[in-house]
Chains A and B, each alone.
Chain A
Amino acid sequence: MRTTMYKKTPYFFILPAYLVFLVFMFGPMVFSLVVSFFNWTGIKSPKFTGMENLKGIFTDSVFWLSVRNTLLYSAVSLFIVVPLSLLLALALDSPHLRGRLAVRAIYFAPIVTSTVAISQTFLMLFNTDFGLINRMLGIPIDWLGSRSLALVPVLVVVIWRWLGLTSIYFLAGLQGIDRELYDAARVDGAGTLQRFFSVTLPQLRPMTFFVSMIILIGSLQIFDEPQILTGGGPSNATRSVVQYLYLRGFTQFRFGYASAIGLVLFIAIASFSAVQMRLRKESDL
């Protein structure tokens, strides 16, 4: 009798997590995939339309614009934030850094701030008339109203928020590097810079890859910052894919079309995630 009770216990332990998973994650995901093939405004019954939504998306110039914007956010995150955060991590790891505690606080605190609060602050900083940026530059640049420049405030916020986060990972990675490797290199006559390239970078490769994946997947889903700063405008110049999903789904009540956009996003992200998991498994061997 006792043994059968023990056999059932783990299932009860994992049951709550599984319930939440099925009802609030897996179930909705399947639902979203299904609705992608329907037209539905939420009030009356949905209408099956097959590939119409997907076809619509692929000929939708606003969708492609949102893809371009999102890829730009990702590119900046990957090619500007990641290298900068590595440098920051190196600095934090260095014994010659003055005021380490303060530096950590200053660079890490942005991670936990509310995206709304920060975006609204930057909204004011970039304001054409009374914004600090324009005052320091001396010229009234219309940041948020210009199709070409509106991306700048958003990118600045992205960099500001993510710098600390990625450097935390690099710092952990740096601290995990075996000191003996450095000693060996020093014995071989390698200078600081050489040691960086021959020991640090190679040892950080797994972490760099891991961080890049996190940043990439995170930035592909960006919503809060451009939504508050520009609402996606002007003329969709800053609209991200998730913002477009929100526009179609919750401003215009096109649930089918919005779900189809979600489907495309999901395929993109799932592919990256799968690649990441695959490569990690391989590197573990």
Chain B
Amino acid sequence: MKKCISMLLVLMVAASLLMAGGAKETSITPKKGETVTIKLWTHDDLYRQFFQKRIDMMNANNKDFQIALDAQIMPNTITSLITASVAGEALPDLIGVEQGWFPTLMEDSNVDTFLVDLTDKIGDRYNDYVQGRWALYNYEGKIYGLESALTASVLYYQPAIFEKYGVAIPTTWEDYIEAGKKLAANGVKIGVMDNDSSGIFSMMFLQRGGQFFDQDGKLVLGEGKNREAAIKVLDMLRQALDANALQVVLGNEFWGSTIPTAFSTGKLAGMVAPDWYNASVLQPGVKSMAGSWRVAPMPVWKDGSGYRTSVWGGTGFAITQSSKIKDIVWDVLDDAYMSLDGQLDRYKTIGFYPTMYEALDSPAVTEEEHSFFGGQKIGAVFADVALETPPLWQSPARPFLLQAMVDNLPLFIEGKLSSGEFVDTVVKVTERDAKL
């Protein structure tokens, strides 16, 4: 009797497995005086605040209809999107996709199931924006998301420490190592290395011109130029670690108290980090140190290879296939994320650097004097290196790559894996896991 019941149950569930969700969407045109609600899903309230602001402005000028914003905050918008879709629950119209989550949709070509192809809507304006940022939400040559931040990396440093020990500000990585050795001899570290997240390594690897995946999503880390680049970066990190020049921190301590404490006690001279690090971590962490920081371009490689900056992170906003008001959502997104006014407003409101060249070059960015940096016009530094922002090509295998790096970096840092062994292990594990 119970055998029958359980068989029935299994069959029932199995049957429903075969039913794929397919929403038939029809576009709604709002009537005059009506209010249309845009459902937004994001992991950070700052974005909600920004979109609300832009929508308020649009509403003020809109005589036909009004837009209301219904935002929900959640830790991972993509897993929520997938499970909600499978469950037949309400889906958002506008969704904030952290670049690390986008690959989850790339499996089984699910991107088209969930997100709208924005390539045509972007059109020729494609070239007006930092090229590298389009790669993050790119699938089979089509673009699905608009990036929120430039994430260009620079060197944040305390000039007083360098002066004190008579060390010049490094402009190349080779100089960086030498400077690191000198500072280490005095008990000061020059930079940071994360123990179990791959942020620092990825940042440097991409700057050197390496790519984990090619444009088709194939794993190319283990081949030719990419492997060389990875080994070169790892060798350099090895030198720095052996010289005790880097502060090793746990992935989640990255956002914690360890680094700010080291900064304020003069034990850590600076850090190579992206633009958002300033607003998110540096300033809030060491408020009392205002005025004693400066920004310099990221060190480059003496042999001239690679880019002048790198990228780290990012969140793209996309329109969902299930949305019934795609055109209206596009209007909002277009205004907030693609217009010059929107880009500058975003910079002012959230603090992320613009991805639009025109915005980057505008005086609002380049001429602004930052008191935290002693009045330095740091915007100019970012605008200068923005042209050389590397892309980051995605792949469904990326989550496995990230996990493989996280698992093996501690071993590399301890010295149990050589640079070459690290690369080969990561490649092997990623290939294996991606097939599961």
Contact = CB atoms under 8 A, between A and B. Distances in A.
Direct contact between the two chains A and B in their complex (CB within 8 A): yes
Contact of A235 (B113, B253, B261, B411): B411
A254 B403 CA distance: 14
Given A44-B110, A129-B258, 13 more contacts: A30-B10, A42-B82, A44-B108, A147-B414, A233-B251, A234-B195, A235-B196, A235-B407, A247-B403, A252-B400, A252-B433, A253-B79, A257-B436
B257 A22 contact: no
A239 to B, nearest CB: 10
Interface string A9-34: 00000000000001100110011001
B86 A31 contact: no
A250 B76 CA distance: 11
A128 B258 contact: yes
B410 interface: yes
Contacts of B24: none
Given A42-B82, A43-B86, A129-B258, A145 B407 contact: no
A62 interface: yes
Contact of A45 (B18, B403, B414): B18
B17 interface: yes
A234 B410 contact: yes
Interface residues of A, number: 40
A62 B400 CA distance: 13
A33 B309 CA distance: 50
A251 interface: yes
A56 B436 CA distance: 8
A194 to B, nearest CB: 52
A26 to B, nearest CB: 6
A235 B104 contact: no
Contact of B2 (A22, A41, A129, A247): A22
A43 B107 CA distance: 10
B248 A145 contact: yes
Contact of B406 (A30, A130, A147, A235): A235
B60 interface: no
Interface string B169-181: 0000000000000
Contacts of B407: 62, 235-236
**For B110, B196, B257, which residue has the most chain A Cβ atoms within 10 angstroms?**
B196
B400 A234 contact: no
A27 B6 contact: yes
Given A144-B250, A145-B249, A43 B108 contact: yes
B17 A254 contact: no
A248 B434 CA distance: 11
B314 interface: no
A248 B408 CA distance: 17
Contacts, number: 93
Contacts of B258: 128-129
A45 B110 CA distance: 12
B5 interface: yes
Interface of B: 2, 5-6, 9-10, 13, 17-18, 20, 79, 82-83, 85-86, 104, 107-108, 110, 113, 195-196, 248-253, 257-258, 261, 399-400, 403, 406-411, 414, 433, 436
A129 B253 CA distance: 10
B257 A234 contact: no
A227 interface: no
Interface residues of B, dominant DSSP = helix
A167 interface: no
A41 B6 contact: no
B110 A145 contact: no
Given A30-B6, A53-B436, A253 B410 contact: no
A147 B258 CA distance: 19
A27 B406 contact: no
17 contacts: A26-B2, A30-B9, A43-B82, A43-B108, A43-B113, A45-B20, A62-B407, A129-B257, A145-B249, A145-B250, A147-B410, A233-B251, A233-B406, A252-B400, A252-B433, A253-B104, A256-B436
B108 A22 contact: no
Contacts of B251: 233
A46 interface: yes
A43 B396 CA distance: 14
B253 A145 contact: yes
Contacts of A130: 257
A39 interface: yes
B19 to A, nearest CB: 9
A127 B403 CA distance: 24
Contacts of A234: 195-196, 250, 410
A62 B2 CA distance: 38
Contact of A26 (B6, B13, B252, B253): B6
Contacts of A23: 9
A23 B6 CA distance: 8
A50 B20 CA distance: 23
Nearest to B251: A233
A8 B137 CA distance: 62
Nearest to A53: B436
B331 to A, nearest CB: 30
B9 to A, nearest CB: 4
A120 to B, nearest CB: 12
B250 A235 contact: no
A139 to B, nearest CB: 16
Contacts of B20: 44-45
A41 B409 contact: no
A46 B18 CA distance: 8
Query: Which 3 pairs from chain A and chain B are nearest by CB?
Result: A235-B410, A234-B196, A145-B250
Contacts of B252: 231
A12 to B, nearest CB: 16
**For B107, B250, B400, which residue has the most chain A Cβ atoms within 10 angstroms?**
B250
Contacts of B399: 251-252
B394 to A, nearest CB: 15
Contacts of A233: 196, 250-251, 406, 410
A169 B371 CA distance: 64
B274 to A, nearest CB: 23
B248 to A, nearest CB: 7
